[in-house]
Amino acid sequence: MNEETTVFEGADDIAALLACGALRGSVAGFAQPRGPDLMRRIKPLDDWCALRATYGMWQHARALDGAPGPGACVREEGAAFSTARRGVNFASNDYLSLAAHPAVREAATGALLDAGPHSAGAAGLLGNSRLSLALEAALGALLLLEHVTLFPTGWSAAFGAITALVHGRDYVVIDAQAGVALRQGAAAATRNVVPHRHLDTGHVREILAAIRARDLDNGILVVTEGLFGLDADVPDLPLMQHLCREYGATFLVDVAHDLGATGPGGTGSLGEQAMLGKADIVTGAFSKTFAANGGFVAGNSRALKRQLQLFAGPYQSSSALSPVQAACVLEALRIARSPEGDALRAELLRNALSLRAHLAETGMRCLGAPAPVVPLWIGNEQVARLAGRSLAREGVFVDLAEAGGLASGVLPGAARLRLQVMAEHRPAQLRQGARAIGAAVAGAGAALGVEPAYPPSTPQRRRR
């Protein structure tokens, strides 16, 4: 990567991109196609994606050659680059850099030799192992919650928890920026889904009061996250819990992004806000910090565990976490709770602060607070796509969050570049990456004649 230059091919190239349509359109425009033939009506989406791939603007089919480290080799679909290109990786989930940790790899090897690569059954049908039971106990000790249920992915844990508990007459009150698994679980469980404005506890109170004024017979599940992956901000968990108690609602917190990576001893936002052992339901994923796939649902109610075992579809109908995955997470959790984990979190925070400072020097606007996720507000989708292409060619790999993508939750005109920091990113990588990003965004805006836009303000987290 050359930190001094970011190449744009000139006015003719930009005109060609605009003319061919690679910069136009939105995923949202293809979300609900019409027509009697289910397969024919999705063909325009494939044509549009193939066009973007041809011009190096389709970032949803990239592949790693090797490990997901701070420096990585990446292949991309289409004509962008036919061979793997090495560069700075801000697009992988490995917050504490544990995927390459020798002890985690040794644990994986030992489990493979001892128990094999496959759980060979759903958790309720002899798919559990000695390692998965040990992992449940270790997570319970960390969260101060007695009953933990493992799922094969973080998505299935969040989706399964909601769909197992909520029926069609119940209500789900959910943050507008909640992750896709939570939103899909709510939509699958009930038509009574009420989004609330992001981080706005006053709005939560209004919604709960209105529901209880007309319905005292059905349940309410309030859903939030410990750290929001889209904007890197944090809700007021004690106040949310207080509102749930006041209106007879159940409180669910998803800690996919913060558990292990932030908070005292890796306890995330729950630990930072003295909420360990207090939330009704905690869901999470192992893929961000704990070097493996998988997820969990935790609570102090044994009845919750029974409900999940019998009525959570992903638990019943998917093979359980493999012994290798369970061993990786168990060892990663041990490291995260140790003095070494404290040192890794300190390094991660220093890197997040450093990257945000370098980006600010280039004029970039970072959202949220210092965290493993560093979201950059772009606004214009065309600018974000063009900057993303330039960065890939320069060997800086970032995630593009644009309107309409199922996982993004991004509204039109609110595109972001999302960076994910690791504990082992080096100062030079952070500095050079930030300079390249700033140059790419400025160059894309100038080439398209788009002035910089600034994000709307969001409510600040209020404490009781």
The answer, yes or no, to whether residue 457 has pLDDT greater than 70, is no
Residue 306's pLDDT band (boundaries 50, 70, 90)? very high
Cα-based angle 377, 383, 385 (whole degrees, multiple of 5): 100
Does residue 449 form part of some domain? no
Residue 153 lies in a domain: yes
Q: In Å, what is the CA distance from 409 to each residue of 132, 262, 385, 402?
A: 33, 24, 17, 8
246 in a domain, yes or no?
yes
The partner residues of 148 in beta bridges, in order of sequence, read 298
Q: Which of 194-198, 225-229, 379-383 is the least confident region?
A: 379-383
Residue-level pLDDT at 56: 81
Closest alpha carbon to 312 in 136, 164, 155: 164
From 64-68, 85-89, 138-142, 353-357, the region with the lowest mean pLDDT: 64-68
Q: What is the pLDDT of residue 414?
A: 87
Question: What pLDDT, on the 0 to 100 scale, is given for residue 72?
Answer: 92
pLDDT tens digits for range 337-394: 999 999 999 999 999 999 999 999 999 999 999 999 999 999 999 999 999 999 998 9
For residue 462, is pLDDT > 80?
no
103-124 tens-digit pLDDT:
999 999 999 999 999 998 999 8
Domains in the chain: how many in total? 1
Is residue 205 one of the residues assigned to a domain? yes
Which domain range does residue 246 map to?
Answer: 102-336
Sheet strand arrangement including 399-401: 373-379, 415-420, 399-401
Is the pLDDT at 68 greater than 50? The verdict is yes
CATH label of the domain that carries residue 171: 3.40.640.10
Lowest model confidence (mean pLDDT) among 7-21, 23-37, 71-85, 292-306: 7-21
Closest among 24, 7, 18, 28 to 401, alpha carbons compared? 28
Instruction: Answer yes or no: is pLDDT of 458 > 60.
Output: no
- The verdict on residue 431 lying in a domain is no
pTM over 0.85: yes
The percent of residues in the chain predicted with pLDDT above 70, rounded, is 92
Measure the N-to-C terminal CA separation of the chain; round to a whole number of Å: 48
Please compute the mean of the pLDDT values over residues 272-297 and round it to a whole number: 97
Average predicted confidence (pLDDT) for the chain: 91
In a domain, 50, yes or no: no
Residue 37 lies in a domain: no
> How many percent of the chain have pLDDT more than 90?
77
Q: Decide if 122 is inside a domain.
A: yes
What one-character DSSP code corresponds to residue 418? Answer: E
